[in-house]
Amino acid sequence: MRELEINKQNIYYALFTRYTDAVDSNGYKTGEKVKTYSDPTPLRINVSPARGNANREVFGIDCVYSKTMTTADLNCPIQEDTILWIGETPDKPHNYVVARKAEGLHDIVYAIREVTISG
C-alpha cells in the first residue's frame, strides 16, 4: 500500500536531452547554449498539495521548492532539470521544474519548484 491510485494525478514531463546552440532572428549562432527537452510524456504520480515541514530535511535547507512528488516506481525516468506540466497541458508553457531528487529504498521523492514561463 505504498502508492494508492486515488492519490495520483495526471501530469506531463519532458526530460532534458542536450544543449543546442542558440540562434538569433537572422539564423546566426549567438554563442549561447539552450536546453533541449524530449517530447512531453504523460504520467500518473502523487503530487503534494503544498510544501510541508516534514520533507524539509530530505533535500536540505538550501533547496527552494513549492511541492513534492512521490513515486514507488524506482525506474521512474524523471531527473533533476526535468520540466513538468501540473494542472496544465503541454500546449501551454511548463509550470514546474524538478529541483532535487531523493531516492530511498522503496520510493523516490522529487522537490519541484513552480516557474513562470512567458509565451
The domain spanning residue 26 has which CATH number? 2.40.10.270
**Number of structural domains found in the chain:** 1
Domain assignment present for 91? yes
Q: What is the model's pLDDT at position 66?
A: 85
pTM, two decimal places: 0.82
Is residue 119, in this structure, part of any structural domain at all? no
Q: List per-residue pLDDT tens for the chain, 119 residues long.
A: 567 888 899 999 999 999 999 999 999 999 999 999 999 999 999 998 876 544 445 655 556 788 999 999 999 999 999 999 999 999 999 999 999 999 999 999 999 999 988 75
| Domain assignment of residue 31, yes or no | yes
The alpha carbon torsion through 92, 13, 103, 63 (nearest 10 deg) reads -20
Assigned domain for 24 exists: yes
Whole-number pLDDT of residue 59 = 58
At residue 15, φ and ψ (nearest 5 deg) are -85, 145
Q: Which domain holds residue 41?
A: 5-114
The H-or-E segment that residue 59 falls in is helix 56-59
In a domain, residue 73? The reply is yes
Q: Are 19 and 41 in contact (CB under 8 A)?
A: no
